[in-house]
Structure 1
Amino acid sequence: MFPVVDVTGWDVDQFEADGSDEKIWLIDPNTSLSALFKPNVRNDTAEQADHWPEKLASEVAQRLGVPAARIDLAVRNGKRGCVSYDVKPEFWELQPGHVLLSDHLGTHDPRDKHRAGHTLDNIRTVLHKFGPPPNSNLPPRFNAFDLFAGYLVLDAVIANRDRHSANWAVLLGPEETDRGLCPTYDHATSLGFHLTDDHRRRKLGNPVEWEAYLRNGTAHRFQDCRKVTLVEFARRGLEMLSEAVRAYWRDRVRDLGKDHLNMLASTTPEMSVEARTFAVELMDTNRRRLLDG
């Protein structure tokens, strides 16, 4: 099983900028790395929680070759949650996607219910001067949008519907040429996290309900995509890439077999049996849907 880290004794670095006393930046005493402790706030059970989707999603991202924030399951002062390690190298800054879009469009509100301006064309435009994250293991030909399409592939696999323009970012380093897409982060609202075990059993046992659930996994955080499935949206992103890069992501999806998914889910603690079963079936089905397109 993946470990659960007790971070009660870790020194506090800073509180979140919004003044929340829930999410706190801590310092790992073993590595001196900064990590954001994110307690479970909506639910805290083996059926419904925020922490195990974050952990499992990060492990799936790694298996796909998608740079992502490193996640550990954690407990602090009796509160369960996870720690998300800082994605910024030392002396680098993080700039959310909505800032880039605002600079490009003149205005962009990430809270706009119509998601105006949050389109693949605009994202490709604002990322044209950026590369992959520093020290990533991606092929040298990759640019930032090549990788962003990989984030969409990950979203489709794990059913992450929360890729709004504040949930992706770029990294700016000390030198003018230090520009890279930030590793992906914040995947708590994925993998059917909100369902009860009764709902999971019912959906898996009823083909009509299962298909309806898959159709409801939409890319609604993007402009005019309220009814576009995450799988279809990821395909749109892949079609904007060169043939070689598109083939790279398809190969990574193909290599993500159900045996790998079962292994990752089985080693993620604090999940119910039904949550594991549902997460694996959801990811494997979405993986096959991506390859069928």
Structure 2
Amino acid sequence: MKDAFPVLDVTDWPVVLFEVGGSEEKVWITDPAGQKRALFKPNVRHDNIEQADHWPEKLASELAGLSGIPAAAIDLVVRNGRRGCVSYDIKPEGGWELQPGWLLLADLLGDHDPTDKRHHGHTLSNIETVLSSYNHPPGFDVPENFTAFDVFVGYLILDALIANRDRHPANWSVLRGPTGGDQCLSPSYDHATSLGFSLTDEERSRKMRDAREWEAFLRKGTAHRFEGCRQVTLVDFALRALRMIDGAVRSYWLDRVASWSEDHLTALAASVPEMSVAARRFAVRLVLANRRRLLDA
């Protein structure tokens, strides 16, 4: 039996920066022991074992690792009595900057409104174009010949698995270093609105009992943050992206997704504290269902 993931007390971690453009509740803090910088994200929408913001982040990050998908490392924490998580800095040391996807799209299109509800310009082809001069994320176990877009497709696979509908153009980024050649796709981040996080246990149990409700819930997971994809499921959107890349890369991602077992996933969910039994069961069943839809297509 895998040990439970720890819940760290980060009350004494000093604040080094308030999150730019975010609420004052999100602050950058530093681990005094290891000097690792991390963004503290307190639970805001929900804060109980049924519904929360922190455990979806943790489980999604661990599932990404299981599938070889670069993602921010997450720890569950408490700070001044508030539960949440820390997302460790994805920027390499030495003058690197994070630039969100919407800035790249604005450069390509001449103008891009990240708040546009139609998400004009946020398309797979445009993303492939703007990432063409970027490398894959550093420090992760992906083949050296993979392009940034090859890895971005992995992020869409993760979204499909966990039912993450929030991949808007500020929720993917690139990293730019101190020299012109230092530029790469950033690891994936911000997966809080996934895994049925907002459902109550009664709703989860009902959906798992009723086949029609279950199928309806799976169909509600749409890629609505992309232009023209309000009715396109996350699974179908990931499959579209997979068809855009080389066959060997496509096989790599599907093989990685197929490589872990239900027992692996169940053990991961069981290791996430402050998660109800129904939330664990639902998350496992959801990911397995979406994996089957990906692999059987």
Quick one: distance in 2 between partners of 1:21 and 1:246? 41
1:222 aligns with 2:210: no
- Can you give the 5+ residue segments of structure 1 that lack an aligned partner in the other structure? none
Match of 2:11 among 8, 13, 16: 8
What's the CA shift string for 1:91-141, capped at 9, x where partnerless? 211010000000000111111000000000000000000111122221011
| Aligned residue in 1 for 2:118 | 114
1:242 aligns with 2:255: no
Match of 1:273 among 274, 277, 289: 277
Check the 8 A contact 1:4/1:72 in 2, yes or no: yes
| Aligned residue in 2 for 1:153 | 157
TM-score normalised per structure 2: 0.98
Quick one: distance in 1 between partners of 2:21 and 2:122? 24
| SS of match in other structure, 2:8 | strand
Q: 1:78 to 1:151 in 2, by over 3 A?
A: same
| Aligned residue in 2 for 1:170 | 174
| SS of match in other structure, 2:188 | coil
- Can you give the 5+ residue segments of structure 2 that lack an aligned partner in the other structure? none
| SS of match in other structure, 1:175 | coil
Check the 8 A contact 1:173/1:179 in 2, yes or no: yes
Check the 8 A contact 1:257/1:284 in 2, yes or no: no
Quick one: distance in 2 between partners of 1:22 and 1:255? 38
Aligned residues: 293
Match of 1:130 among 120, 134, 156: 134
Give the % identical residues.
63
User: Partner amino acid for 1:279?
Assistant: A
Match of 2:66 among 59, 63, 73: 63
Deviation at 1:20, TM superposition (A): 2.3
Check the 8 A contact 1:72/1:82 in 2, yes or no: yes
Comparing 14-23 and 65-74, the one that deviates more: 14-23
1:260 aligns with 2:264: yes
Quick one: distance in 2 between partners of 1:104 and 1:87? 25
TM-score normalised per structure 1: 0.99
Match of 1:77 among 75, 80, 84: 80
| SS of match in other structure, 1:251 | helix
Quick one: distance in 2 between partners of 1:125 and 1:17? 27
Quick one: distance in 2 between partners of 1:62 and 1:161? 20
